[in-house]
């Protein structure tokens, strides 16, 4: 039972354009959402997060949007750069002390 779903296994975007990665969740108890980035042969690294009391959080080129009514969040990367090519994991947590649930990931390819 996938509580965090990333339905696009891969995405290709032209360098300089916007990359939009989507994530859906089923558990209405989730109160905190995170995005991780993973390069081959490395562990995931934290990218950006958002609390359920907000609908947007921005950090440089990265913005996460949360639509609680639709149980949907998205990560926007503008402008996309070659170094953004990686696997991106959406993750969620039900409360402060609960474990983090990860989606299956989306592989982002930035094309020259």
Residue 73 near residue 62, CB atoms below 8 Å: no
Q: Measure the CA–CA gap between 30 and 51, rounded to whole angstroms.
A: 9
49 makes contact with other proteins (CB under 8 A): yes
What are the helix and strand counts (H, E) for the chain? 0, 11
Binding mask 71-90 for other proteins (x = CB under 8 A): ------------------x-
68 makes contact with other proteins (CB under 8 A): no
Q: Measure the CA–CA gap between 97 and 38, rounded to whole angstroms.
A: 24
Q: Measure the CA–CA gap between 47 and 34, rounded to whole angstroms.
A: 7
53 makes contact with other proteins (CB under 8 A): no
Q: Which of 43, 60, 83, 112 is in the footprint of other proteins by CB under 8 A? A: 43
Q: Which of 42, 69, 70, 112 is in the footprint of other proteins by CB under 8 A? A: 42
Which residues bind to other proteins, rule: CB under 8 A? 4, 6, 9, 32, 34, 36, 41-46, 49, 89, 91, 93, 96-105
């Amino acid at each position: 039972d996938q509580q965090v779903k990333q339905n696009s296994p891969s995405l290709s975007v032209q360098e300089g354009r916007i990359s939009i990665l989507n994530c859906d969740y089923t558990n209405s108890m989730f109160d905190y959402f995170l995005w991780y980035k993973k390069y081959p042969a490395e562990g995931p690294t934290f990218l950006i997060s958002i609390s359920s009391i907000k609908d947007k959080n921005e950090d440089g080129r990265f913005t996460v949007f949360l639509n609680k009514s639709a149980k949907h969040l998205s990560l926007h990367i503008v402008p996309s750069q070659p170094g953004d090519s990686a696997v991106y994991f959406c993750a969620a947590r039900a409360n402060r002390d609960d474990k983090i649930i990860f989606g299956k990931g989306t592989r982002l390819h930035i094309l020259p």
